[in-house]
Amino acid sequence: MVDVPQWLIIILALVYAPIIGLFLMGIERKLSARFQGRIGPPLFQPYYDLMKLFSKEALVLNRVQILYAYLHLAFMMVTVVLLVLGQDLLLVLFAHAFSTICLILGGMCVRSPYSRIGSHRKIMQMVAYEPIMILMVIGIYINQGSFMGRDVFLLGKPMLLTLPLIFVAFVVAGMIKLDKSPFDVATSHHAHQELVKGITIEYSGPFLGIIELTFAYEVFVIFGVMACFWTTNLWAGLGLALAGYGTMILVDNLTARLTTNWMVRYMWSIPLVLALSNLIWIYK
């Protein structure tokens, strides 16, 4: 392999991750529209949305919320950087969690009931999916004997073969992360009327743009992790990730939003049991 300097990888990742993420979001909008019998927006609609948001006037409630919007993005960038550098996966998970925590705090620091309710629902979402994420990291550890992300590539055989149930659980957890139905209780790209945009309600203009940008990074992260389940062949990995992403979109269109309590109960039963049984299976 060519020896690419670390800083170059980081810059490339930081530049290309949101581009890829936005493209995936465009595919999703198009696909969802097709599922609903519509033509849908252009493929590059998410780019336009983002550019528009950055050109709008910023309305704020206080100064603190700005801080958290930026930190939300910063920690998501850290996540991406650590992931592409193949760093310790537990740390990646922490960085990812901090990004979400910053969003939650941003929603809580304003005196808006909608936004606070959104924040609390986001907290419950974290409670629902974090165990799955950590079980996934443990599974990877048992699989390869280290926490380092780059060791996944040294394994020589696809992770999916040993961790199939964890992959399924991860797809479900990813749906929560990407705010897909039936788990989109905190905020959603569709539920504009019911949730009044939940946690992001008091952000507008460029600050909403920052949050959308972060979402693009997040799509990239989830997509990338799914692709890493098949490391031996690039196309197979991409196919796997696309299949997982497609499933998310399909389920998003098929189901209705359910309650927070249902979500926590569901996640702590079926996907958690799936992940645990996978762990028990590979544990010697």
Q: Which of residues 106-125 bind other proteins (CB under 8 A)?
A: 107-117, 119-120, 123-124
Footprint (CB under 8 A) of other proteins, residues 83-102: 85, 87-88, 90-91, 94-95, 97-98, 101
Residue count of the chain, please give it.
284
Write the DSSP symbol of residue 189: S
Locate tokens 């788990």: which residue?
183
Contacting range for other proteins; rule: CB under 8 A; set: 15-23, 192-200, 218-226, 231-239:
192-200
Work out the number of other CB atoms within 10 angstroms of the CB of residue 284.
5
- Contact call for residues 275 and 132 (beta carbons, < 8 A): yes
Phi, psi of 162 (to 5 degrees): -100, -25
- Contact call for residues 112 and 61 (beta carbons, < 8 A): yes
Tokens, residue 282? 């590979």
Footprint (CB under 8 A) of other proteins, residues 150-189: none
**Which lies closer to other proteins via its Cβ, residue 88 or residue 251?**
88
In whole angstroms, give the CA distance from residue 102 to residue 18.
Answer: 19
Among 20, 31, 60, 238, binds other proteins (CB under 8 A): 60
**Which lies closer to other proteins via its Cβ, residue 35 or residue 242?**
35
- Contact call for residues 107 and 200 (beta carbons, < 8 A): yes
Residue 131 CA, chain-centre distance (Å), reads: 15
Among 11, 12, 19, 59, binds other proteins (CB under 8 A): 59
Q: Closest approach of Cβ 268 to other proteins, in Å?
A: 11
43 near other proteins (CB under 8 A): no
Q: Closest approach of Cβ 243 to other proteins, in Å?
A: 26
Among 16, 19, 55, 233, binds other proteins (CB under 8 A): 55
Residues touching other proteins: how many (CB under 8 A)?
A: 89
Q: CB burial class (10 A; 0-12, 13-18, 19+) of residue 20?
A: middle
Among 160, 204, 247, 250, binds other proteins (CB under 8 A): 204
**Rg for the chain (alpha carbons), in Å?**
18
273 near other proteins (CB under 8 A): no
Contacting range for other proteins; rule: CB under 8 A; set: 17-25, 82-90, 154-162, 230-238:
82-90
In whole angstroms, give the CA distance from residue 49 to residue 205.
Answer: 10
Among 20, 27, 43, 45, binds other proteins (CB under 8 A): 45
> Quick one: which of 200, 216, 218 has its CA closest to 208?
200
Among 24, 92, 126, 225, binds other proteins (CB under 8 A): 126
Among 155, 196, 250, 258, binds other proteins (CB under 8 A): 196
Q: CB burial class (10 A; 0-12, 13-18, 19+) of residue 176?
A: buried
Q: Closest approach of Cβ 16 to other proteins, in Å?
A: 16
5 near other proteins (CB under 8 A): no
Among 19, 51, 154, 234, binds other proteins (CB under 8 A): 51
70 near other proteins (CB under 8 A): yes
> Quick one: which of 126, 171, 122, 181 has its CA closest to 271?
171
